[in-house]
Chains A and B, each alone.
Chain A
Amino acid sequence: MTHLRSELRQRAEELIALYPRRRSAMLPLLHLAQEQDGYLSDEAMAEVAELTGTTPAEVRGTAAFYDMFHLEPVGRYVVGVCTNIACLLAGGEELLAHAGRTLGCSVGGTSPDGLFTLEETECLADCNIAPVVQVNHRYVRTTTPELFDALIEDLRQGRLDHDVPPHGTLIRVRRSGGLRVEREELAAERAEARAARDARAATEAN
Chain B
Amino acid sequence: MATLDAPRIVTSRATYADSHTLSRYLDTGGYQALRQALTMFPEQVAAQVDAASLLGRGGAGFPAGRKWSMLRKSPVSYLVVNGDESEPATFKDHFLVERDPHQLVEGVIIAAFALQVTQAFIFLRGEFALGLERVQQAVNEAYEHGALGRRIFGSSFSLDIVVHPGAGAYICGEETALIEALEGKRGFPRIKPPFFPAVTGLYGEPTVVNNVETMSNLPWIVQHGGAAFAALGAGRSTGTRLFALAGRVRNPGVFEIEMVKNTFRDLIFDPRLGGGIIDDRRVKAIIPGGVSAPWFGPELLDLPLGQDEVGERGSMLGSGSIVVMDETSCVVRAAWRITKFFSRESCGQCTPCREGSGWLERILYRLEHGGGRLEDVDLLLDLSDNIAPGLTWPPQQTTICVLGSSIPSSIHAAISMFRDDFYEHVEHEGCPHD
Interface string of A56-67 (1 = CB under 8 A from B): 000001100111
The segment from B7-15, B137-145, B218-226, B400-408 that touches chain A is B137-145
Q: Is B425 an interface residue (CB 8 A)?
A: no
| Cα(A23)–Cα(B88), bound, Å | 30
Contact for B126 among A52, A170, A201, CB less than 8 A: A170
B residues in contact with A139, CB < 8 Å: 130
Q: Which of B60-68, B262-270, B336-344, B385-393 is the interface stretch?
A: B336-344
Q: Is the CB of B337 within 8 A of A26?
A: no
A61: contacting residue among B85, B182, B186, CB under 8 A: B186
Does residue A86 face the partner (Cβ distance < 8 Å to B)? yes
Size of chain A's interface in residues, with CB distance under 8 A?
62
Measured in the bound complex, the distance between the Cα atoms of B413 and A29 in whole Å is 43
Closest to A63 in B: B167
- Among B127, B156, B165, the residue within 8 A (CB) of A27 is B165
Q: Are B89 and A173 in contact, CB atoms less than 8 angstroms apart?
A: no
| CB contact under 8 A between A127 and B252, given known A28-B164, A190-B118 | yes
In the complex, what residue of chain A is closest to B93 when comparing beta carbons? Answer: A125
Within 8 A of B (CB), among A103-147: 121-128, 130, 134, 136-139
User: In the complex, which residues of chain B have a beta carbon less than 8 angstroms from the beta carbon of A66?
Assistant: 126, 166-169, 187
Known: A170-B126, A170-B129, A180-B160. A88 touches B165 (CB 8 A): no
B78-117 at interface with A (beta carbon < 8 Å): 85-91, 93-94, 116
A27 to B167, CA, bound (A): 7
A109 shortest CB reach to chain B, Å: 18
- State the Cβ distance, A60 to closest chain B Cβ, in Å: 11
The answer to whether B325 and A89 touch across the interface, beta carbons within 8 angstroms, is yes
Residues of A within 8 A of B149 (CB): 177-178
A8-42: CB near B (< 8 Å → 1, else 0) gives: 00000000001111011111101100000000000
How far is it, in angstroms, between the C-alpha of A65 and the C-alpha of B347 when the chains are bound? 8
Q: Which residue of A lies closest to B345 (CB)?
A: A122
Which residues from chain A contact B252 at a C-beta distance below 8 Å?
86, 127-128, 130
Distance A183 CA – B337 CA, assembled complex (angstroms): 48
Task: List B contacts of A83 (CB < 8 A).
Answer: 337
A77 on interface, CB distance cutoff 8 Å: no
B133 close to A (CB within 8 Å): yes
Interface residues of B in 255-302 (CB under 8 A from A): 287, 291
The yes or no answer to A2 lying at the interface (CB within 8 A) is: no
A85 touches B334 (CB 8 A): yes
The interface residues of chain B lying within 8 Å CB-to-CB of A186 are: 118, 158
Indicate if the CB atoms of A127 and B89 lie closer than 8 Å: yes
Query: Which B residues touch A138, using CB under 8 A?
Result: 129-130
Q: How far apart sit A197 and B125, CA to CA, in the bound complex (Å)?
A: 38
Contact B247 A89, beta carbon cutoff 8 Å:
yes
Contact B248 A189 (CB under 8 A): no
B41 touches A197 (CB 8 A): yes
A200–B75 CA distance with the chains assembled, in angstroms: 22
Contact A178–B143 (Cβ < 8 Å): yes
- Is A175 among interface residues, defined by CB-CB distance under 8 A? yes
B183 adjacent to chain A (CB < 8 Å):
yes
Give the A-B pair count, Cβ closer than 8 A. Answer: 188
A52, B91: Cβ atoms closer than 8 Å = no
Point out which of A54, A68, A183 has the most chain B C-beta atoms below 10 A from its C-beta: A68
Q: Which residues of B contact A193 (CB under 8 A)?
A: 156-157
- B244 to chain A minimum Cβ distance, whole angstroms, is 7
A18 to chain B, nearest CB (A): 5
Is A181 interfacial (CB 8 A cutoff)?
yes
User: A86 contacts B341, CB within 8 Å?
Assistant: no
- Are B126 and A123 within 8 A (Cβ)? no
| Contact assessment for A23 and B183 in the assembled complex, using a CB-CB cutoff below 8 Å | yes
- Cβ-defined contact, B334 with A88, below 8 A: yes
Residues of chain A lying within 8 A (CB to CB) of residue B148: 178
- Residue ID in chain A nearest B344 by CB atoms: A122
Q: Is A172 part of the contact surface with B, judged by Cβ < 8 Å?
A: yes
Which residues of B approach A to under 8 Å, CB–CB?
Answer: 41, 75-76, 85-91, 93-94, 116, 118-119, 125-130, 132-133, 136-137, 139-140, 143-144, 148-151, 156-158, 160, 162-170, 181-187, 203, 244-248, 252-254, 287, 291, 323, 325, 329, 333-334, 337-338, 341, 344-345, 347
**Can you report 20 A-B residue pairs in the complex whose CB atoms are below 8 A from each other?**
A19-B162, A21-B184, A25-B184, A27-B167, A61-B186, A65-B347, A66-B168, A86-B88, A88-B333, A88-B337, A89-B334, A123-B341, A125-B93, A127-B244, A137-B128, A137-B129, A171-B129, A171-B136, A173-B136, A178-B148
Q: Besides A127-B252, A175-B163, 19 other CB < 8 A contacts? A: A23-B183, A27-B164, A27-B165, A62-B184, A67-B167, A83-B337, A85-B287, A86-B88, A122-B344, A122-B345, A125-B85, A125-B86, A134-B127, A170-B126, A170-B132, A173-B136, A176-B143, A177-B149, A193-B156
User: What is A's interface to B at a CB cutoff of 8 Å?
Assistant: 18-21, 23-28, 30-31, 52, 54, 61-62, 65-69, 83-86, 88-89, 121-128, 130, 134, 136-139, 170-178, 180-181, 183, 186-187, 189-190, 192-193, 196-197, 201
The 8 closest A-B pairs by CB, nearest first: A26-B184, A67-B168, A66-B167, A23-B184, A68-B168, A177-B143, A193-B156, A86-B246
